[in-house]
């Protein structure tokens, strides 16, 4: 075990962890942040996607040891039930969730795209989101929701 301080959603969290523990377990089991989901554990589905600095990463494959000093953001950082962020609002408007298991990952990957490129076209959205899967098949609504934010004036942040 070693002492690792993770900066999650703006607050420093000192934790006692095995250094090779994937970030996903630290978030869920140690910090109670259950937004990011365990899907395949192989980086093939995207349900565990969070943002590290400005990049989307698969939390299930990212060891905690290298994350000190980096800015980790999870879906809990985008807004709350009472006060959802713009992208979350768009997902609600378009009813983009069916079972909802993939949605936290979808939101975080889309968020990282919109921060870098506030007005992507649909083709760009489709290519960027290709790494995140939805078994229910709500991809079309998810794309609609992302487009709703992409098409508005001004930037996301």
Closest-CA residue to 73 (of 121, 117, 111): 111
| Nearest distance in Å: CB 78, other proteins | 19
Phi-psi region of 129 (alpha: psi -120 to 50; beta: other; left: phi over 0): alpha
When the beta carbons of 126 and 152 are compared against other proteins, the nearer one is 126
Would you count residue 151 as binding other proteins (CB under 8 A)?
Answer: no
The SS3 assignment for 150 reads helix
Per CB under 8 A, contacts with other proteins among 115-144 are 121, 123-124, 126-127, 130-131
Interface characters, 31-70, with other proteins (x: CB under 8 A)? ---------xxxxx-------xx-xxxx-xxxx-xx----
Residues in a beta bridge with 11: 8
Binding stretches for other proteins (CB under 8 A):
19-22, 40-44, 52-53, 55-58, 60-63, 65-66, 121, 123-124, 126-127, 130-131
């Amino acid at each position: 075990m070693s002492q690792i301080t993770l900066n999650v959603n703006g607050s420093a969290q000192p934790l006692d962890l095995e250094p090779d523990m994937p970030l996903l377990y630290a978030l869920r089991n140690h910090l109670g942040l259950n937004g990011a989901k365990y899907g395949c554990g192989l980086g093939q589905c995207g349900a565990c996607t969070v943002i590290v600095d400005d990049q989307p990463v698969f939390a299930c494959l990212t060891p905690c040891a290298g994350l000190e000093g980096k800015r980790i953001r999870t879906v809990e950082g985008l807004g709350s039930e009472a006060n959802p962020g713009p992208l979350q609002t768009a997902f609600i408007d378009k009813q983009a969730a069916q079972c909802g298991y993939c949605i936290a990952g979808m939101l975080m990957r889309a968020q990282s795209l919109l921060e870098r490129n506030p007005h992507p076209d649909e083709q760009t959205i489709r290519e960027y989101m290709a790494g995140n899967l939805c078994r229910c098949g709500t991809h079309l609504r998810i794309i609609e929701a992302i487009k709703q934010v992409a098409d508005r004036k001004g930037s996301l942040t």
